[in-house]
Amino acid sequence: MTSLFEDEITLFADLILPVPVPRLFTYRVPRNMSEMIKVGARVIVQFGKKRVITAVVANIHSNPPAQYQAKYILELLDDEPIITTHQLELFKWVSEYYLCNIGEVLNVAMPAGLKITSQSRIQHNPEFDYEELLTDQERYILDEIKKHTTLSYEEVARLVNQTNITAIIKSLVGKHAVILFEEVKERYQPKIVKKVRLTSAFTSENSLMDLTASLDKTPKQQDILMRYLSHVPVHNNAELNQKGLDKTIFSKDNGVSDSALKTLVKKGVFEEFEIVVSRFSDIPGGTSPEINLTESQKTAFEQIHESFSEKEVVLLHGITGSGKTEVYIELIKQALEGGTQVLFLLPEIALTTQIVVRLRKVFGDQMGIYHSKFSDNERVEVWKGILDGKFQFVVGVRSAIFLPFDNLGLIIVDEEHETSYKQHDPAPRYHARDVAVIMAYMHKAKTLLGSATPSLESYFHARSGRYGLVEMSQRFGNAALPTFLLVDTKKEKKQRTMKNEFSSVLLQHLESNLTNKEQTILFQNRRGYSPYMQCEECSWISECNNCDVSLTYHMKARELRCHYCGHKEEVPRTCPACGSTRVKTIGYGTEKIEDELHLLLPAARVQRMDLDTTRAKNAYQQIIQEFEQGGTDILVGTQMVSKGLDFDNVSMVGIFDADRIIHFPEFRASERAFQMLTQVSGRAGRRADKPGKVLIQTANPAQKILERIIQNDYVGMYETEIVEREQFHYPPFTRLIKITTKHIDEATSKRASTVLAEKLTANLGKSRVLGPEPPLVERVRNQFLFDILIKLEREKINFKAAKSFIQEKVIDILTDKTIKGVQIIIDVDCV
């Protein structure tokens, strides 16, 4: 009877493993965990023969798996869930909608600091007593293991000065001399500050007087006491003394004797203690003056409220500089006062630099910040801060959509049109804006999408009544929109008035701005010095060995780099093909513009903001802060400079190579060109007393899209584009799914994509399945690529059923033994 009873109460847990496997795995819950284990908690389990990983509990039940013997959960890591039920629901939706595994969603969602790491270690087998069986090298390793108790593979490799020690360890294991085990470590480490304080015996006036007198003959100890009292006046203030003082104040660097402090601790005068502190205490805060909305902002605020009474999602279409941020702030305040949480999404880390300081002044410590430039530990603190209720309001980039909110009232997606909201690699290939709408629905919250240049899809939904629509057509403070000047580079080249990439008109205006002590932003959407190098004799071009692209020349690093795989090469002194010394750079990027500005305008203080200059954690902040404080005259940058930055003294924006943006070979080219060029233009003249101007260099000033940009005619652009989208079956009238095959062998990749396309066409029809075709870059990291594009009409096709069919056919290819080793990537709602 006892055995039967025990079987009845045995618990099992379905776990999400952060690995690309297509299902949950069921593990057995040990008896000592059965009362404590909860859905959403982390556990440690063995996956495979040796691997130990962190998993998350998705479900608890009493049904053993039918197809395999369930392993035991090794350890329970959390007393309370680290993942909320809302998150689990969202993870499931993301995995189903974007055709990926829920483990892949967890892997992207959960910060690395919450994932336990395991390391294989080697220890001496105490039962081994046959050292004569060992070689000299094995005996040496065993002696070192005994000395250190355990060693890692890396430590053994260093001992014997070999990179590959697998055979040696295998031999030691085979002779039963050593035992292998997995050491599990928690990655997250709280920030601990060491402090000192007076013991309770020395906080009264009399005791302090006696103590001071007793230290007359030990001046170093007396100096420490005086230093402490100058910072912490403890007389009749025991509470202040409890907080103590950072131990660093009593360091050698500050002229304090370590031994003197140690003596005072031994005497019982001082005591040392540790506290856990926030890693965000040094983020600028302060107080912000009361925000008084303009009439235009008040109207927008009220209209948003009215729309929210009828719609779950509202689009705020406000021109650049219209003051959308002030409206956001009032909405956030209202949501927080109502007791709900708020998520504010931004597309780029660069955007957070300015806006975080501004928002922190309004919302103080209840605001958290979340993006990839933060360390693992910092991201874990935000995660835990939301769970603990410390952070009610979070500003973050796309990954913040997966944070553990449980009471969301409002999600704001600023610059909702930005492609940065779409994740490309690894899976899940989600769009944070679209996930935000679903997440808000799950929380019964509202979503506000904001942009001066909305995506056609969002504007279509607003015009058709699916979303609410609020317009802001005036700039804040009565500032005027900038004036535009189109510079005909074709004409200037004929007249030979161009100086490399700079037209004479652009140079004149740059010089004028410098004279007037006004700032300029120059936009070139290509980093590096030049896109490639070419031999003038034989036409050799610097190309990547791994990808079908040219290598970009980076002058500062004196190297050629592939922007796809990261491959680097030294700059050749002579042509590798013919030996000629006539090798020159072709084209230009941000680095070349910066370099030429130093030559053309030597008095100008120039800064560059692109991926190469902003890799360090605080690089964005330093560049933006210096520009904001007037330490930079000209800021050169890629599209980073186009996104939401607000500088009082910027009166001019210069745009290079607009034609390359306009004529990019994809169906969204006109929309993207309008968005990008309008956004960067909007950085100029954002104050009424400083009119702005925008110079666009183009070989064809008569292009219709440029006319739309100059007139700030978003609606005109939309109405032209939406007709073409409907005619040629593109979003928002269809949903797009791109399927990419990858293989080291071109023929295998092509065959896999061809067979897959045939299977899909048989059910979906030829008009809906396009390809396979090689993409613009046919080979990346020595993998040959082929794309299939699937168009599914919104009104005619059951999207869920179609995706299920597509996934089924993809699995057919992956399990086809005649097509081995092919990788298949599915990108739902590709951009």
Q: Is 274 exposed, middle or buried (0-12, 13-18, 19+ CB in 10 A)?
A: exposed
- Please answer whether residues 670 and 722 qualify as being in contact, where contact means their C-beta atoms are separated by less than 8 angstroms: no
Name the H helices within 33-111.
85-97, 102-109
Tell whether 565 is in a known binding site.
yes
- Please answer whether residues 76 and 111 qualify as being in contact, where contact means their C-beta atoms are separated by less than 8 angstroms: no
Q: Is 680 exposed, middle or buried (0-12, 13-18, 19+ CB in 10 A)?
A: buried
**Residue 124 corresponds to which amino acid?**
H
Length of the chain: 831
DSSP single-letter state for residue 715: H
- Please answer whether residues 757 and 772 qualify as being in contact, where contact means their C-beta atoms are separated by less than 8 angstroms: yes
Structure token pair of residue 115: 């994932």
- Please answer whether residues 434 and 418 qualify as being in contact, where contact means their C-beta atoms are separated by less than 8 angstroms: no
Torsions phi, psi of 752, nearest 5?
-60, -45
Q: Quickly count: other Cβ atoms within 10 Å of residue 113's Cβ.
A: 18
Tell whether 100 is in a known binding site.
no
Pairing relationship of beta strands 313-318 and 468-472 according to DSSP bridges: parallel
Structure token pair of residue 357: 């300081």
C-alpha closest to that of 451 among 298, 300, 319, 327:
319
Pairing relationship of beta strands 823-828 and 734-743 according to DSSP bridges: antiparallel
Peptide bond into 284 cis (omega under 30): no
- Please answer whether residues 244 and 199 qualify as being in contact, where contact means their C-beta atoms are separated by less than 8 angstroms: no
**Residue 474 corresponds to which amino acid?**
Q
Structure token pair of residue 218: 């030990």
**Greatest C-alpha distance within the chain:** 101
- Give the C-alpha separation, 806 to 100, whole Å: 12
Cβ-based neighbours of 711, under 8 Å, separated by 6 or more: none
- Give the C-alpha separation, 320 to 328, whole Å: 15
- Give the C-alpha separation, 350 to 343, whole Å: 18
Tell whether 830 is in a known binding site.
no
C-alpha closest to that of 598 among 612, 610, 608:
608
Structure token pair of residue 612: 């190469």
- Give the C-alpha separation, 216 to 226, whole Å: 12
* Residue that has been written with the tokens 């535009």 in this structure: 484
Strand order in the sheet with 693-698: 483-488, 693-698, 650-655, 519-523, 634-637, 606-609
- Give the C-alpha separation, 751 to 756, whole Å: 8
Torsions phi, psi of 799, nearest 5?
-65, -40
Tell whether 535 is in a known binding site.
yes
* C-alpha distances in Å from residue 725, one per residue of 343, 486, 705, 735: 32, 28, 16, 12
Binding-site residues for Zn(2+) sit at: 535, 538, 544, 547, 562, 565, 575, 578
Binding-site residues sit at: 535, 538, 544, 547, 562, 565, 575, 578
